[in-house]
Amino acid sequence: MSFLRGVCFAKQNSYDRAKECYMDAVRIDVQCFEAFDQLMKNCLLPPDEEWEFLESLDFDSITTNGTETAQEAAHFAKMLYTTRLSKYKNPA
């Protein structure tokens, strides 16, 4: 629901409100990549804030059938999100 609210606010050019909704969506469900992607694609966070937000996410909340698989899924999700971050803060 937060993601859809963010989309509506973005369509109305209310990017500050859209940013908060997208961030809430990812905090509620860390696997909501669409919301995270909108944050990055629309440059709604400065580079420092992007990294802080990524570090604040609870990737360990990702559940699967096995413990080892859950750890792999959490690591994969974090790496996927990391690829979308601005390269200005930590250039390769």
Residue 63 is predicted with a pLDDT of 85
Residue 31 is predicted with a pLDDT of 93
How far apart CA 18 and CA 20 sit, in angstroms, is 5
Q: pLDDT (tens digit, 9 = 90+) per residue, 8-47?
A: 999 999 999 999 999 999 999 999 999 999 999 999 999 9
Residue 90 is predicted with a pLDDT of 62
Residue 17 is predicted with a pLDDT of 97
| pTM, rounded to two decimals | 0.87
**C-beta atoms surrounding 58 within 10 Å:** 9
- Which is more confident, 5 or 67? 5
If you write DSSP's letter for every residue of 1-19 in order, what string do you get?
A: -HHHHHHHHHHTT-HHHHH
HSE toward the beta carbon, residue 72, CA cutoff 13 A: 6
Is it the case that residue 4 has pLDDT exceeding 80?
yes
